Amino acid sequence: MGHVARKRFGQHFLTDRAVIDAIIDAIAPGDDQAMVEIGPGLGAMTLPLLQRLPASSQPLTVIELDRDLAARLRKRGDLTVVESDVLKVDFAALAAERGRKLRVVGNLPYNISSPILFHLLGFVNHVVDQTFMLQKEVVDRMAAGPGGKDYGRLSVMLQWRYQVEGLFDVPPEAFDPPPRVDSAIVRMVPHAVPVALDEALLSELVASAFSQRRKLLRHSLGRWLEARGFQGEFDLQRRAEEVPVAEFVKLAQSV
């Protein structure tokens, strides 16, 4: 009996073979790697990944919330199945179990994609890279540079820790059922030498800056800085979307 996509899980199953092959090519599985797939679903990416993973690689780990799909995947016998909400998964523990950093891939549920990205941000030191299918609008925001409407809090909070690259778009017809939005593939590679700062402070600073993005920063971030007694120099006669990631990071280090 076929599996009916469940709306509450944001399930849209990838079926286009050419798109699947292009994603696996982009991931490029290699020797002796610890691969983790989020949301394997019916195995559209899982099975090609297994075929491409060399015998020297560790077993593919899949994280699936839907208990029916998890049970189906567990029957294969060649997967490590973690039946859980991905937002509750300890990726540091997974890396420790495998004795190496993780390569994380998946077709993420679009309804909770941002929470998943921020959850993984907390484990960035345990990750080699991340390759995900997401709503195209989200990928555009993740990879955006300053000066445009797509550039915002998500751009800054991810780019300070990752090199983010949108790879290619995926049309709705590649899925069953088709989503109402276009999709895209994104690659995220952690920066080799992370900047030392208080992530919570950066998050608060950036949220303040973009809280009134149509206004000059003196109306939002300026008040935030004043409340903290900031005495340094920072050009507040700009809008938040004009400030590069590096400047937000430097400011967070100075506050």
Interval 193-247: pLDDT, tens: 888 899 999 999 999 999 998 999 999 999 999 999 999 999 999 999 999 999 9
199 known ligand binder: no
Q: Does domain 7-190 have CATH number 2.60.260.40?
A: no
Cα–Cα dist 83/78, whole Å: 15
| Model confidence at 108: pLDDT above 70 | yes
219 known ligand binder: no
| Model confidence at 31: pLDDT above 60 | yes
- Helix, coil or strand: residue 102: strand
CATH pick for 199-254 out of 3.40.50.720, 1.10.8.100, 3.30.70.2860, 1.10.1450.10: 1.10.8.100
- Of the listed ranges 13-17, 55-59, 185-189, 191-195, the least confidently predicted one is 55-59
Evaluated on CA atoms 121, 124, 126, 128, the torsion sign reads positive
Confidence band for 8, pLDDT divided at 50, 70 and 90? very low
DSSP strand E in the chain: where? 13-14, 34-38, 60-64, 79-83, 102-107, 127-135, 162-170, 175-176, 183-190
Confirm if 82 and 63 have CB atoms less than 8 A apart: yes
pTM: 0.91
- Residues forming CATH 3.40.50.150 domain(s) in the chain: 7-190
Confidence band for 9, pLDDT divided at 50, 70 and 90? very low
14 known ligand binder: yes
| Model confidence at 55: pLDDT above 90 | no
Query: pLDDT above 90 covers what percent of the chain?
Result: 81
AA letter at 203: S
Confidence band for 11, pLDDT divided at 50, 70 and 90? low
Q: Mean pLDDT throughout 29-48?
A: 92
Strand partners, 134: 184
Q: What is the pLDDT of residue 164?
A: 98
- Residues forming CATH 1.10.8.100 domain(s) in the chain: 199-254
64 known ligand binder: yes
- In this predicted model, what pLDDT tens digit does every residue of 133-187 receive, in sequence order? 999 999 999 999 999 999 999 999 999 999 999 999 999 999 988 888 999 999 9
Cα–Cα dist 63/61, whole Å: 7
Q: Both tokens of residue 106?
A: 């998946």
